[in-house]
Chain A
Amino acid sequence: MDPSRKRKLRLVVALTTAVLLATALIYTSFSASTEASKPSEIKPGRSYDLTGKVVPGSIRHSGDDLRFRVRDRDGTESVPVTYTGVVPDPFRDGREVIVSGELERGTFVAERDSLVTKCPSKFTKDEQSS
């Protein structure tokens, strides 16, 4: 094979590999992703990553269960949540949380250990004073 054809072939092979890998990357990421939803958007029958803020004063412990309400980040609609498992350190009234689960009879039943709380950042000013 002459050198220029060899180079061309190499380029084609490299490009094809790159395109294939990129397609795999895009495909797996879209198929593995979960949708984040607000309390006002969820419906029974499928699972969600629920995101929103913990309604102040709504946190109750009952036995192993933790019950609280999550409301839209910028709205008033809220949904009750029951959760079991480890509660992250920063979990408290008014914090933003993400929790995975499903809506059952008006209550969002969370998967065990799925609660993620965002820390009030070391860089936010307003949140701590308010």
Chain B
Amino acid sequence: MAGVGSACLAIALLTALYSAGASIFGARTGRREWVTSGRRAIYCVAALCVAAFGLLEAAFLRSDFSYALVAEGSSTDTPTFYKVTALWATQDGSLLLWATLLSLFASAVLFLTRRSLRDIAPYATAVLGCIAAFFLLLMVGWENPFDTLAAPPAEGAGLNPLLRHPAMMIHPPMLYTGYVGFSIPFAFAIGALVAGRTGADWIRATRRFALIAWTFLGTGIMLGALWSYTELGWGGYWAWDPVENASLMPWLVGTAFLHSIMVQEKRGMLKIWNVSLICATFTLALLGTFLVRSGILSSIHAFGASTIGVQFLIFIGLVIALSAGLIISRLPLLRSEAKLDSLLSREAFFLLNNLVLVGLCLVIMWGTFFPLISEAITGTEASVGPPWFNRLVTPLALVLVLLTGIGPVLAWRRFTPAALRRVLWPPVSAAALALVLLLAFTNAADSPASLAMFCLVAFVLTVVSMELARGTKARRTMTGESWPRALGRLTGRNRRRYGGYLVHAGIAVLFLGVAGSSAFLDQRDVRLKPGDSFGVNGYQVTYREATAKLGGDSAGTGAPISFGAVLDVRKDGEHFVMRPSRNYYASGDPSLGTISRFFEGEATSEVDVRWGLKRDLWLAVQPDIGSLEKPIQEADAKFANSPGDVQALIIAALAERYRSDPPPAAFRAIASPLVAWIWLGGAIVVLGALVAAWPSPEARLRRVRSLYSARLGRDLSRA
């Protein structure tokens, strides 16, 4: 079957190249049948990729270790959910995922635009075909996911235990869907430039794809943060790690793009800026994929030196050079149709928000690549840490949240300061009220940046609720509907607008969580014997007893050994029990003893979090297995060649020994205020984006009308 998979990829590569060639040929000569053929070739590429993906997934599910990829990334004792997802935990598999998602997205957009955008679509098809061909070429030439082993091992290495977390398994496909999704507007922007059709048509056709890509990328980033918070055992959600930054940069520029295209749609301005933004977003998406693999920047992800770094660099260089060349050659066509009437207009504020977003991206980029920059300039590799990022990003984030509030109430073209005062006085007084209350009742003044953020959040939420209330009230007076019905109808009729407001509210809520948890968390690291207690943020935490479980950790990660602790937590008469633990996975290293290999492999913290809207209590334990070192070594010597069930008995005995007489264990406790609002805010953002992306009845009507007129035109020309 591996041969069939490789053949699928090779044929898909040829088909993608054919698609690019046929589309361009068809567009140049005006022969529509070639264009149609090129488009259908993309459908074929999608079918072939899906087939290859299915074959590989089947190999993972039946644990066929003759596939090198399966032997490296899975094992028979890996739980089924993680067997399925192990495919994209490998480099070759993730390339296949990229190509598959890309071909599916490309097919969808080309199918939807098959009767419109006649000038642009063929070139967009060619661009998409080339991108697909690049990823397929990587697999066919260097990283074939269908490589087989001459001597298949009896058991696979298993999935890296750190990745055995639901969020981590959904996170890569989400990120990739985001990265891939941005290639659609990119392809159409290039198509529009080549065809010289620089109006807003390409934006209208692909706006929804950009929004969906943005949503997926954002969700992926959030899931990565959640994974870091609950799995990595350090209790934070963002560390300015190069790979995190790599996913944030295209998201920021993509956000700028989603805003500035509205200016082009409404006023025909910012055309150069828009095509540049989408080219930058796509390049950054490629860069994100590349950074994960190249190993040029050291990070916690520290991916080993890869074989395909150079190819990626060449491709990124080509994309930058070609898009820049194309934009410059089309400059005369990209002139604005209108001028900025006033600095007091929605357009001007969109421009400002774009500058802040792009500025943020540049700051993050500089910090991320600083080790390379410093090595080039001073000869020594130096890096900037999270404090540097926090210092520079915080003021920009504050401005951004402020703009999130001001933007929605501004009028296009021009507004008067008096009108601005009228709409802004309620939110400004809400912010002032928040300031007074915070100063009077909390210690928020300890962190000026967080205090400012809290006030801005009040500001934004007031703006959004006022806008919703105003629209609903207007609709009610018109139609006499009930409040909820009027609100629902209002949103349904103006999905893009009210979905956008919801996104703004979600961002404000998210920053509420960031401001609270970053400045006011209380962290304690202690070492306790059973019976000891300590206090953190008013919680009285007592280590009641140690636990040791074999083969049954609660999260279903398939860990053979799990040592943990039971802790009683008391606060103000409230009492609850928390059970953090640590999973030990057997090592595959044959040089270790038969028993010690069970303790010397990977270990992961399974933290216990008491979620709360006011604050989370987060607990991790690090058992000291040093006390078991001696008995483990003795067991290694005595039972070197004993059968599996005897080994199991010995491990059970060792576990019992740990449980009954535990040495002091290290605990980390974090009381993190408001952190739950980050995840809630993220969920509101996604909800808002879905509302905005959902096709509205009006849009459907428009599409039917345009199809009808197209048919009419065809019939007339035939007659």
Give chain A's interface residues, CB within 8 Å of chain B: 21, 25-26, 28-30, 32-36, 49, 51, 61, 64, 85-90, 92, 96, 98, 113, 116-129
Contacts and interface: CB of A to CB of B under 8 A. Distances in A.
Interface in B633-690: 666, 668
Do most interface residues of chain B lie in helix, strand or loop, or is the interface mixed? mixed
Contact of B293 (A33, A117, A123): A123
Interface residues of B, number: 54
A15 to B, nearest CB: 13
A86 B622 contact: yes
Given A25-B392, A36-B382, A118-B299, 12 more contacts: A26-B366, A29-B384, A29-B388, A36-B380, A61-B624, A86-B525, A86-B622, A86-B668, A121-B301, A122-B90, A122-B160, A123-B91
A35 B381 contact: yes
Contact of A61 (B89, B370, B382, B626): B626
B259 to A, nearest CB: 19
Residue of A21, A88, A119 ringed by the most chain B CB atoms within 10 A: A119
Nearest to A36: B381
B383 A36 contact: yes
Interface in B345-388: 359, 362-363, 366-367, 370-371, 374, 380-385, 387-388
Kindly list the 6 A-B residue pairs having the minimum CB-CB distance in the complex, ordered from nearest.
A118-B302, A124-B304, A33-B382, A121-B303, A123-B91, A32-B388
B558 interface: no
A57 B381 CA distance: 29
Contacts of B666: 86
A126 B90 CA distance: 13
Contacts of B157: 128-129
Interface in B282-306: 292-293, 298-304, 306
B382 A35 contact: yes
Given A32-B387, A118-B301, A124-B304, A25 B90 contact: no
7 contacts: A28-B388, A29-B384, A33-B374, A35-B382, A98-B298, A119-B302, A123-B293
A89 to B, nearest CB: 5
Contacts of A86: 233-234, 525, 622, 666, 668
Given A21-B359, A89-B603, A118 B300 contact: yes
A92 B584 CA distance: 13
Interface of B: 72-73, 89-91, 94, 157, 160, 162-163, 232-234, 292-293, 298-304, 306, 359, 362-363, 366-367, 370-371, 374, 380-385, 387-388, 391-392, 525, 527, 588, 600, 602-605, 622, 624, 626, 666, 668
Contacts of B163: 122
B195 to A, nearest CB: 32
Contact of B363 (A25, A64, A116): A25
A34 to B, nearest CB: 6
Contacts of A49: 383
Contacts of B91: 123
B302 A128 contact: no
Contact of A89 (B362, B374, B604): B604
Greatest chain B CB density within 10 A among A28, A29, A34, A117 is at A29
Contacts of A98: 298
A107 to B, nearest CB: 20
Contacts of A117: 300
B392 A28 contact: yes
Contacts of A88: 232-234
B149 to A, nearest CB: 12
A34 B302 contact: no
B245 to A, nearest CB: 14
A118 B382 contact: no
A28 to B, nearest CB: 7
Contact of B162 (A90, A125, A127): A90
A32 to B, nearest CB: 4
Contacts of B603: 89
A125 B68 CA distance: 10
Nearest to A24: B392
B525 A85 contact: yes
Contacts of A119: 160, 162, 300-302
A28 B302 CA distance: 26
Given A35-B381, A64-B527, A119-B301, A125 B72 contact: yes
B374 A30 contact: yes
B302 A89 contact: no
Nearest to B292: A123
Contacts of A92: 600, 602
A2 B507 CA distance: 42
A28 B391 contact: yes
Nearest to B235: A86
Contact of A124 (B300, B303, B362, B604): B303
Given A21-B359, A28-B391, A89-B162, A121 B304 contact: yes
Nearest to A49: B383
A113 B670 CA distance: 14
A119 B604 CA distance: 12
A118 B668 contact: no
Contacts of B292: 123
Given A118-B302, A122-B163, A29 B366 contact: yes
B588 A128 contact: yes
Contacts of B367: 29
A19 B360 CA distance: 15
B298 A118 contact: yes
Contacts of A30: 374
Contacts of B624: 61
A114 to B, nearest CB: 10
Contacts of B588: 128-129
Nearest to A126: B304
